[in-house]
Amino acid sequence: MGLYSRYVLPHVINCACGTRPIEKERAKITPLAAGVVLELGFGSGRNLAHYDAAKITKIYALEPEPGMLALARKAAAGASVPIEILPERAEDLSLPPASVDCVLITYTLCTIPDGITALEAARGALKPGGRLLFCEHGAAPDADVAAAQRRIEPLWKRLAGGCHLTRDVPALLRDGGFEIDDLTAWYLPKTPRFAGYTYRGVAHAR
Protein backbone atom coordinates (compact mmCIF):
# COMPACT_ATOMS: atom_id res chain seq x y z
CA MET A 1 0.00 0.00 0.00
CA GLY A 2 1.38 3.39 -0.99
CA LEU A 3 1.91 6.35 1.31
CA TYR A 4 -0.93 8.23 -0.44
CA SER A 5 -3.47 5.45 0.31
CA ARG A 6 -2.25 4.90 3.86
CA TYR A 7 -1.78 8.44 5.13
CA VAL A 8 -3.37 10.98 2.76
CA LEU A 9 -6.42 9.35 1.20
CA PRO A 10 -8.28 8.61 4.48
CA HIS A 11 -8.22 12.33 5.32
CA VAL A 12 -9.25 13.33 1.78
CA ILE A 13 -12.18 10.88 1.95
CA ASN A 14 -13.12 12.08 5.42
CA CYS A 15 -13.36 15.66 4.12
CA ALA A 16 -15.14 14.69 0.90
CA CYS A 17 -17.70 12.69 2.89
CA GLY A 18 -18.38 15.57 5.24
CA THR A 19 -19.91 18.15 2.93
CA ARG A 20 -23.14 19.76 4.08
CA PRO A 21 -25.32 18.02 1.44
CA ILE A 22 -23.89 14.62 2.39
CA GLU A 23 -24.33 15.28 6.10
CA LYS A 24 -27.97 16.15 5.38
CA GLU A 25 -28.39 12.76 3.69
CA ARG A 26 -26.86 10.99 6.68
CA ALA A 27 -29.27 12.83 8.95
CA LYS A 28 -32.17 11.34 6.99
CA ILE A 29 -31.07 7.70 6.88
CA THR A 30 -28.84 6.95 9.90
CA PRO A 31 -31.41 7.71 12.65
CA LEU A 32 -33.57 4.89 11.23
CA ALA A 33 -31.01 2.33 12.45
CA ALA A 34 -32.01 0.33 15.52
CA GLY A 35 -30.88 -2.63 17.63
CA VAL A 36 -27.67 -4.42 16.66
CA VAL A 37 -26.33 -2.61 13.60
CA LEU A 38 -23.70 -3.60 11.07
CA GLU A 39 -22.19 -0.60 9.31
CA LEU A 40 -20.31 -1.56 6.14
CA GLY A 41 -17.32 0.65 5.35
CA PHE A 42 -17.43 2.58 8.62
CA GLY A 43 -14.68 4.90 7.39
CA SER A 44 -13.97 7.80 9.73
CA GLY A 45 -17.23 7.24 11.58
CA ARG A 46 -19.15 10.13 10.09
CA ASN A 47 -22.50 8.43 10.71
CA LEU A 48 -21.88 8.26 14.46
CA ALA A 49 -23.21 11.77 15.02
CA HIS A 50 -26.48 10.79 13.32
CA TYR A 51 -27.41 7.55 15.09
CA ASP A 52 -30.28 7.74 17.55
CA ALA A 53 -28.26 6.39 20.49
CA ALA A 54 -31.41 5.48 22.44
CA LYS A 55 -32.32 2.93 19.73
CA ILE A 56 -28.88 1.34 19.35
CA THR A 57 -27.80 -1.83 21.17
CA LYS A 58 -24.43 -2.18 19.45
CA ILE A 59 -22.69 -1.20 16.24
CA TYR A 60 -20.38 -3.53 14.35
CA ALA A 61 -18.16 -1.09 12.47
CA LEU A 62 -16.66 -2.94 9.52
CA GLU A 63 -13.65 -1.25 7.93
CA PRO A 64 -10.84 -3.06 6.07
CA GLU A 65 -8.44 -0.29 5.02
CA PRO A 66 -5.54 0.25 7.50
CA GLY A 67 -5.42 4.03 7.03
CA MET A 68 -9.15 4.37 7.51
CA LEU A 69 -9.09 1.94 10.43
CA ALA A 70 -6.99 4.40 12.40
CA LEU A 71 -9.69 7.07 11.95
CA ALA A 72 -12.42 4.51 12.67
CA ARG A 73 -10.82 3.50 15.97
CA LYS A 74 -10.45 7.13 17.00
CA ALA A 75 -14.11 7.86 16.24
CA ALA A 76 -15.27 4.69 18.01
CA ALA A 77 -13.31 5.56 21.14
CA GLY A 78 -15.38 8.70 21.64
CA ALA A 79 -18.76 7.14 20.87
CA SER A 80 -21.68 6.99 23.28
CA VAL A 81 -22.84 3.58 21.99
CA PRO A 82 -21.04 0.21 22.16
CA ILE A 83 -18.94 -0.31 19.04
CA GLU A 84 -16.95 -3.32 17.90
CA ILE A 85 -14.60 -2.74 15.00
CA LEU A 86 -14.47 -5.50 12.39
CA PRO A 87 -11.19 -5.04 10.49
CA GLU A 88 -12.28 -7.01 7.44
CA ARG A 89 -13.74 -6.66 3.96
CA ALA A 90 -17.51 -6.71 3.58
CA GLU A 91 -17.08 -9.61 1.16
CA ASP A 92 -15.47 -11.65 3.99
CA LEU A 93 -17.94 -10.75 6.73
CA SER A 94 -17.30 -12.90 9.81
CA LEU A 95 -20.55 -12.32 11.71
CA PRO A 96 -22.76 -15.38 12.26
CA PRO A 97 -26.01 -15.74 10.32
CA ALA A 98 -29.01 -13.78 11.61
CA SER A 99 -26.97 -11.74 14.09
CA VAL A 100 -27.90 -8.12 13.29
CA ASP A 101 -31.15 -6.18 13.15
CA CYS A 102 -30.01 -3.62 10.66
CA VAL A 103 -27.29 -2.97 8.07
CA LEU A 104 -26.24 0.58 7.25
CA ILE A 105 -24.20 1.36 4.15
CA THR A 106 -23.37 4.91 3.10
CA TYR A 107 -21.07 5.96 0.23
CA THR A 108 -19.36 2.57 0.28
CA LEU A 109 -21.04 0.39 -2.34
CA CYS A 110 -19.17 2.51 -4.89
CA THR A 111 -15.84 1.32 -3.46
CA ILE A 112 -16.35 -2.31 -2.44
CA PRO A 113 -14.70 -4.35 -5.21
CA ASP A 114 -17.35 -7.11 -5.21
CA GLY A 115 -20.58 -5.41 -4.20
CA ILE A 116 -22.81 -8.40 -4.83
CA THR A 117 -20.79 -10.73 -2.60
CA ALA A 118 -20.72 -8.02 0.09
CA LEU A 119 -24.50 -7.57 -0.07
CA GLU A 120 -25.10 -11.31 0.00
CA ALA A 121 -22.92 -11.55 3.12
CA ALA A 122 -24.81 -8.67 4.76
CA ARG A 123 -28.09 -10.31 3.83
CA GLY A 124 -26.96 -13.50 5.60
CA ALA A 125 -26.10 -11.55 8.76
CA LEU A 126 -29.52 -9.91 8.93
CA LYS A 127 -32.15 -11.37 11.24
CA PRO A 128 -35.50 -12.19 9.62
CA GLY A 129 -37.38 -8.91 9.22
CA GLY A 130 -34.14 -6.90 9.37
CA ARG A 131 -33.55 -3.88 7.15
CA LEU A 132 -30.78 -2.53 4.99
CA LEU A 133 -30.49 1.26 5.08
CA PHE A 134 -28.52 2.75 2.22
CA CYS A 135 -27.33 6.08 0.89
CA GLU A 136 -25.01 5.73 -2.08
CA HIS A 137 -23.92 7.66 -5.13
CA GLY A 138 -23.93 6.01 -8.52
CA ALA A 139 -24.99 5.98 -12.15
CA ALA A 140 -26.85 9.12 -13.22
CA PRO A 141 -29.96 8.86 -15.40
CA ASP A 142 -29.06 11.69 -17.81
CA ALA A 143 -27.07 10.70 -20.90
CA ASP A 144 -24.61 13.60 -20.72
CA VAL A 145 -23.82 13.01 -17.05
CA ALA A 146 -23.60 9.24 -17.57
CA ALA A 147 -21.13 9.79 -20.41
CA ALA A 148 -19.02 12.07 -18.19
CA GLN A 149 -19.10 9.42 -15.44
CA ARG A 150 -17.77 6.79 -17.86
CA ARG A 151 -15.02 9.14 -19.04
CA ILE A 152 -13.90 10.24 -15.59
CA GLU A 153 -14.23 6.91 -13.77
CA PRO A 154 -10.82 5.33 -14.64
CA LEU A 155 -8.85 8.26 -13.21
CA TRP A 156 -11.33 8.85 -10.39
CA LYS A 157 -11.00 5.26 -9.21
CA ARG A 158 -7.25 5.67 -8.86
CA LEU A 159 -7.48 8.94 -6.95
CA ALA A 160 -10.46 8.03 -4.77
CA GLY A 161 -9.50 4.63 -3.37
CA GLY A 162 -11.35 2.51 -5.92
CA CYS A 163 -14.59 4.53 -5.95
CA HIS A 164 -16.77 3.84 -9.02
CA LEU A 165 -19.06 6.48 -10.52
CA THR A 166 -21.20 4.27 -12.73
CA ARG A 167 -22.65 1.66 -10.41
CA ASP A 168 -26.37 1.01 -10.77
CA VAL A 169 -27.22 0.98 -7.08
CA PRO A 170 -30.80 -0.39 -7.26
CA ALA A 171 -29.66 -3.19 -9.60
CA LEU A 172 -26.77 -4.07 -7.29
CA LEU A 173 -29.10 -4.23 -4.30
CA ARG A 174 -31.47 -6.51 -6.18
CA ASP A 175 -28.62 -8.73 -7.42
CA GLY A 176 -27.33 -8.92 -3.84
CA GLY A 177 -30.65 -10.36 -2.68
CA PHE A 178 -32.55 -7.30 -1.48
CA GLU A 179 -35.93 -5.87 -2.34
CA ILE A 180 -36.19 -2.09 -2.16
CA ASP A 181 -39.09 -0.75 -0.08
CA ASP A 182 -38.34 2.92 -0.33
CA LEU A 183 -36.08 4.83 -2.73
CA THR A 184 -35.25 8.50 -3.28
CA ALA A 185 -32.87 9.26 -6.13
CA TRP A 186 -31.63 12.73 -7.00
CA TYR A 187 -28.65 14.95 -7.70
CA LEU A 188 -27.18 16.22 -4.45
CA PRO A 189 -27.09 20.01 -4.47
CA LYS A 190 -23.73 21.83 -4.52
CA THR A 191 -22.02 18.62 -5.69
CA PRO A 192 -20.54 17.85 -9.14
CA ARG A 193 -23.26 15.98 -10.99
CA PHE A 194 -20.91 13.17 -12.06
CA ALA A 195 -20.32 12.28 -8.39
CA GLY A 196 -23.57 13.41 -6.85
CA TYR A 197 -26.40 11.27 -8.13
CA THR A 198 -27.62 9.75 -4.88
CA TYR A 199 -29.76 6.74 -4.05
CA ARG A 200 -31.15 6.74 -0.52
CA GLY A 201 -33.60 4.23 0.89
CA VAL A 202 -34.58 1.12 2.77
CA ALA A 203 -34.53 -2.50 1.62
CA HIS A 204 -35.22 -5.94 3.06
CA ALA A 205 -33.80 -9.38 2.30
CA ARG A 206 -35.77 -11.26 -0.34
Ligand X SMILES: C[S@@+](CC[C@H](N)C(=O)[O-])C[C@H]1O[C@@H](n2cnc3c(N)ncnc32)[C@H](O)[C@@H]1O
Which CB atom, from 43 or from 138, has the smaller least distance to ligand X?
43
Phi then psi dihedrals of residue 152, to 5 deg? -80, -30
Which CB atom, from 36 or from 119, has the smaller least distance to ligand X?
119
Burial class (CB in 10 A: 0-12, 13-18, 19+), 15: exposed
**Binders in 47-66 for ligand X, by CB under 6 A:** 62-65
| Rounded-to-integer distance, Cα 46 and Cα 159, Å | 21
Which CB atom, from 36 or from 122, has the smaller least distance to ligand X?
122
Cα torsion for 105, 171, 203, 127, to the nearest 10°? -80
Which CB atom, from 91 or from 153, has the smaller least distance to ligand X?
91
Q: Which of 5, 17, 31, 166 binds ligand X (CB under 6 A)?
A: 17
| Rounded-to-integer distance, Cα 137 and Cα 133, Å | 14
Question: Whole-number minimum distance, CB 41 to ligand X, in Å?
Answer: 3
* Beta-ladder partners of 85: 61
Residues in the chain: 206
Told to check if 75 binds ligand X by CB under 6 A, we report no
What is the secondary structure of 35-83 as a DSSP string?
EEEEEES-TT-TTGGGS-GGGEEEEEEE---HHHHHHHHHHHHT-SS-E
Residue type, 57: T
Told to check if 112 binds ligand X by CB under 6 A, we report yes
Told to check if 176 binds ligand X by CB under 6 A, we report no
The closest alpha carbon to 204, from 172, 182, 188, 171, belongs to 182
Question: Whole-number minimum distance, CB 114 to ligand X, in Å?
Answer: 7
Q: Which of 106, 125, 176, 205 binds ligand X (CB under 6 A)?
A: 106
Question: Whole-number minimum distance, CB 143 to ligand X, in Å?
Answer: 26
Which CB atom, from 143 or from 155, has the smaller least distance to ligand X?
155
Q: Which span sits near ligand X by CB under 6 A: 73-81, 83-91, 176-184, 195-203?
A: 83-91
- How many residues line the site for ligand X (CB under 6 A)? 21
Which parts of this chain interact with ligand X (CB under 6 A)?
13, 17, 40-41, 43, 46, 62-65, 68, 89-91, 106-108, 111-113, 118
